[in-house]
């Protein structure tokens, strides 16, 4: 009787409610390592739905000339996601989780920055003048930690934990390279500066991260930023060669 009642209750749910428990794809067809793990972990399935929704929003709002770049970035990210597979399952799944969280943040920021991303339905009906060329966005203050007098929790950990100084320097270098590479593309540069601003804030927030080891949180945040910048540069290089 209990089983029958439960089945009846499930069947009474609307289809969207049932669909929201899994990822954005059909787990019965999952073959790749990353897809199988997304199906196996509820939080990864939720992240996958979040990424899929943000990707649709970005793609729908993007100008036609930007869509090839966005598609290339998405393909590069899918390759990066799959590359998390490794001999130690726990570390591989942790990499998968970090990669998906970073992509969700990036896409949602891009969706908000896109035309119509933050506007209401009523305001969209009001005619607007053709926007002027996007100005160069202000740069986020980002420099390597000064270990002679480290300021802030993150800088102190960067200066005292093995390997952190090298990672910090790598992030700063990648940011400088990305700024130079996209100097003539204000829209892309604005996305990068927004990501860097979030990065600086998130580093300090790791000191108060709930349920996580603060130093691990800091390292993951720094690795995520370095990976995101490298992906941007790699996609730009591939697009240039392809063109």
Q: 104-108: which pairs have CB atoms within 8 A and are 24 or more residues apart?
A: 104/47, 104/50, 104/51, 104/54, 105/195, 105/198, 106/191, 106/195, 106/228, 107/51, 107/54, 107/55, 107/57, 107/58, 108/50, 108/54
Q: Is the pLDDT at 25 greater than 90, yes or no?
A: yes
Task: Render pLDDT for 123-138 as a digit per residue (tens, 0 to 9).
Answer: 333 344 444 555 667 7
How many whole angstroms separate alpha carbon 175 and alpha carbon 159? 20
Whether residue 17 contacts residue 9, with contact meaning beta carbons closer than 8 Å, is answered with no
Q: 28-31: which pairs have CB atoms within 8 A and are 24 or more residues apart?
A: none
Q: What CA dihedral angle connects 75, 185, 140 and 233, to 10 degrees?
A: 40
Structure tokens, 197:
């601003």
Interval 95-107 mean pLDDT: 84
Q: What is the pLDDT of residue 138?
A: 79
pLDDT-derived band at 180, boundaries 50, 70, 90:
very high
Predicted TM-score (pTM) above 0.85: no
Q: What is the pLDDT of residue 103?
A: 86
Q: Is the pLDDT at 140 greater than 70, yes or no?
A: yes
* CB neighbour class for 131 (10 Å; exposed up to 12, middle 13-18, buried from 19): exposed
DSSP symbol at 80: H
């Amino acid at each position: 009787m209990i089983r029958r009642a439960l089945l009846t209750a499930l069947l009474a749910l609307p289809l969207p409610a049932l669909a929201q428990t899994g990822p954005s794809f059909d787990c019965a067809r999952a073959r790749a390592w990353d897809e199988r793990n997304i199906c196996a972990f509820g939080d990864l399935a939720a992240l996958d739905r979040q990424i899929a929704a943000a990707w649709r929003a970005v793609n729908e709002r993007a100008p036609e000339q930007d869509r090839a770049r966005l598609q290339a970035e998405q393909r590069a990210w899918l390759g990066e996601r799959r590359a998390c597979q490794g001999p130690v399952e726990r570390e591989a799944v942790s990499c998968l989780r970090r990669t998906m969280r970073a992509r969700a943040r990036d896409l949602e920021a891009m969706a908000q920055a896109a035309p119509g991303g933050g506007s209401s339905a009523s305001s969209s009906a009001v005619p607007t003048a053709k926007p002027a060329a996007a100005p160069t966005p202000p740069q986020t203050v980002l420099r390597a930690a000064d270990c002679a007098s480290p300021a802030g929790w993150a800088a102190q950990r960067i200066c005292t934990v093995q390997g952190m100084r090298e990672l910090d320097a790598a992030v700063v270098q990648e940011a400088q390279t990305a700024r130079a590479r996209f100097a003539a593309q204000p829209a892309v540069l604005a996305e990068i500066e927004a990501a860097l601003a979030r990065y600086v804030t998130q580093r300090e927030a790791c000191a108060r991260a709930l349920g996580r080891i603060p130093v691990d949180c800091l390292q993951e945040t720094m690795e995520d930023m370095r990976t995101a910048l490298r992906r941007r540069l790699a996609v730009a290089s591939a697009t240039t060669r392809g063109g």
